[in-house]
Amino acid sequence: MKLSRVMLAAPASGSGKTLITCGLLQLLVNRGKRVAAFKCGPDYIDPMFHRKVIGTPSKNLDTFFTDENTTRYLFGKEAKKADISVLEGVMGFYDGVGGITTAASSYELARVTDTPVILIVNAKGMSLSVIPLIKGFLQYQKDSHIRGVILNQTTKMTYQLLKEPIEQELGIAALGYVPKCAELAIESRHLGLVTPEEVADLRGKIQGLAGLLEETVEVEKLLALAEAAEELDWKEPDFSERKLGAGQKAIRIGLARDEAFCFCYQDNLELLEKLGAELVEFSPLHHEKLPEDLDGLLLYGGYPELYAEQLSKNKSMRKQIKDAILKGMPYLAECGGFMYLQETMEDMKGRKYPMAGAISGQAYGTQKLGRFGYITLSTEKEQQLLKKGESIKAHEFHYFDTTKNGADYHARKPVGKREWDCIHGGKNHAAGFPHLYYYSNPEFVFRFLQKCASWQQEKKGRKK
């Protein structure tokens, strides 16, 4: 299939990828384009910014989580709905698993999806030195897919001086520059950027950047580069045997979603729906009661530590969630959601608050990243959603820990020898710090839905 697409990547984190990506997305929307947006890697926050701009969910693409065909499928099923797709890279262009491989890097995603790459180079304090820097990235891998460059934090004069040498010496397109714009910067915190809702006048900032890019970036050349992308093919995964039976009532699953719980992969949610789930959003922060007639619960990650006092004060919600879990309702909880289920949780100042208490343990701050990065999960225990001999891939990124991490699953890093036990598991639940990616093992989430269906039938029996 012919799909117009381009990736914005950079030599390093902090080069301006997210801001320039959002500005470009807004520029394209302003031009009347239907745009699809994607983020390379397991990042949750950048897709939130993409979504704010384009009005539809942005997706994650990660070649650690999925094989090449599945990665192309997840990209293609969204890209075919759009006039152009914009992929935002992660970290430095070649930075991959373990920090010493290109696996799961922006480069690998560009290779798997055969996507032209525009390298965003922070040229602050540089002039001619950008030439060998870009040249190194071009030559490190013969199939780099780098077709153009945008110079960030530089002046019009410097860009005009460098445009001809870049194109003549390197054979790629010089596509413009972005001057330093302190007033358009977005703040960061311990897990990355703040969320879009926390940015004052975000819409105005992004529109301002879009207007600036119209003046400083050669948009028509960029669009031509995206249009020149090669055709892409893939085979759609067959889930027909994993769907719940015909006539099965929809499985109503409560999805915690608010300022405190906002980290979830869109493709995870859509896979749940594809397999027969009806997702019903609720807020542990703002709602006093769970939605009616639920068959399961999903508590994903986010920033509960920023809202610990508010979460604790909502006693009716804490009690309802605890009671539902203790009665046997199937549930999945990750990172922040897992912390919320503990007996207590600290906030960012170390103050301790009562939480749901469905799991024995206390969540506390550590002031440093713990067990950071990709992992593969397996288990040797019976009666688990994850069966012996199987695995599911996941990612951890947290500055908090708990006194009871669980020991029903085993985590192993893809590079090096580090491994550990984690997760409170059982035949109808899994709760721990790892963020799971369901497409790495759809059977896991199908079993969860089967348990939810069984719970639905048990409820009917009790009512009779």
Active site residues: 335
Phi (first) and psi of residue 21, to 5 degrees: -60, -45
Which run of H or E residues covers position 311? helix 308-313
Which run of H or E residues covers position 348? none
377 and 424 Cβ atoms separated by less than 8 Å: no
413 and 209 Cβ atoms separated by less than 8 Å: no
Which run of H or E residues covers position 85? strand 84-88
Amino acid present at 152:
N
CA 328 to the chain's CA centroid: 30
Phi (first) and psi of residue 27, to 5 degrees: -55, -45
Contacts for 248 with CB less than 8 Å, ≥ 6 apart: 276, 453
Nearest to 229 by CA among 120, 369, 82: 82
Amino acid present at 88:
E
306: left (phi over 0), alpha (psi -120 to 50) or beta: alpha
* Strands (E) located in 317-452: 331-334, 344-346, 352-354, 362-365, 373-378, 392-396, 400-402, 409-412, 419-422, 424-426, 429-432, 435-436
- Helix (H, G, I), strand (E, B), or coil: what is residue 202? helix
Burial 414-450 (b: 16+ CB within 10 A, else e): beeeeeeebbbbbebbbbbbbbbbbbbbbebbbbbbb
Amino acid present at 230:
E
Nearest to 97 by CA among 42, 37, 38: 42
10 Å CB burial of residue 79 (0-12, 13-18, 19+) is: buried
Phi (first) and psi of residue 58, to 5 degrees: -95, 145
CA 223 to the chain's CA centroid: 26
